[in-house]
Amino acid sequence: MSRLQEFLPPIAVAVVALEHLLFLVLEMLLWETPFGRRTFGTTVELAKQTRALAANQGLYNGFLAAGLLWSLIAGSMGRPLQIFFLSCVIVAGVFGALTAKRSILWVQALPAAIALALVLALT
């Protein structure tokens, strides 16, 4: 296996983890800001009404990020943890695409599916 093949899976997992840390920040800290409202297409009123729901959603994204980061330092348990947490992200992304906004499939599920494919193929 080449050095590139060796590093691709953990890099892909780290990218998905970073993405979910960004979701946490957007949903927990920036939800009601102009940037947060523009990102999620909400109005001032809707953002205010849904801030608790968004914060809860952000916390879950943080747990996904934590699990993915854990998988990168977990030694022999890393691969099973990566498979589990990436699968969780994919399921959440598909569910979000079906129930909320189609673009979630491309923004959340696709990067996780690519990372999962790399983990399965190269580790």
Per-residue pLDDT for 1 more than 80? no
Count CB neighbours of 75 within 10 A: 6
The answer to whether 17 and 119 are in contact (CB under 8 A) is no
Rounded distance between C-alpha atoms, residue 11 and residue 118, angstroms: 10
First to last CA, the chain: 10
pLDDT tens digits for 40-61? 999 999 999 999 999 999 999 9
Share of the chain above pLDDT 90, in %: 93
Type of residue at 24: L
The pTM (predicted TM-score) of the whole model is: 0.93
